[in-house]
């Protein structure tokens, strides 16, 4: 019984500790694909089950898919400087808003703003 508990806790702690993969560093390997999926699942569960009271399976799957789609789109980003700054701001600043959906949204907004000029 104790072995089962230890094994389960190791399994869940591994999933919860999945590593963030920078979208522009994604190499398409099976190992990185699994890491991204585990990161997304853990992050969505934390957000919707621990921080919000919206822990229904349908919500979790929908948000996981949204984050996976955002990640895939973010892998095609061209401006490394903006992507790095967004990741720094949302993942490394203590804001705890490090979802691929947030990263993509802020990357697109900052990339757009970077190209705009003030005019009458």
**Other Cβ atoms within 10 Å of 65 Cβ, number:** 12
> For the chain, what are the domain ranges?
21-115
- Averaged in consecutive runs of 10 residues, what is the pLDDT profile of the chain (120 residues)? 41 60 98 98 94 92 98 98 96 88 97 86
Q: CA 83 from chain center: how many Å?
A: 13
DSSP code for 117: -
The reported pTM is: 0.81
Identify the pLDDT of residue 44: 96
Helices 100-115 and 57-74: crossing angle in degrees, nearest 10, is 40
């Amino acid at each position: 019984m104790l072995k089962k508990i230890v094994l389960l806790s190791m399994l869940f702690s591994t999933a919860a500790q999945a590593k963030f993969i920078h979208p522009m560093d994604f190499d398409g390997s099976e190992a990185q694909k699994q890491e991204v999926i585990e990161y997304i699942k853990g992050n969505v569960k934390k957000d919707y089950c621990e921080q919000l009271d919206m822990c229904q399976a349908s919500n979790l799957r929908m948000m996981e898919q949204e984050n996976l789609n955002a990640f895939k789109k973010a892998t095609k980003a061209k401006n490394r400087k903006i992507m790095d700054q967004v990741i720094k701001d949302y993942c490394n600043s203590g804001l705890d808003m490090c979802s691929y959906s947030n990263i993509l949204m802020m990357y697109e907004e900052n990339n757009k703003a970077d190209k705009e000029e003030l005019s009458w």
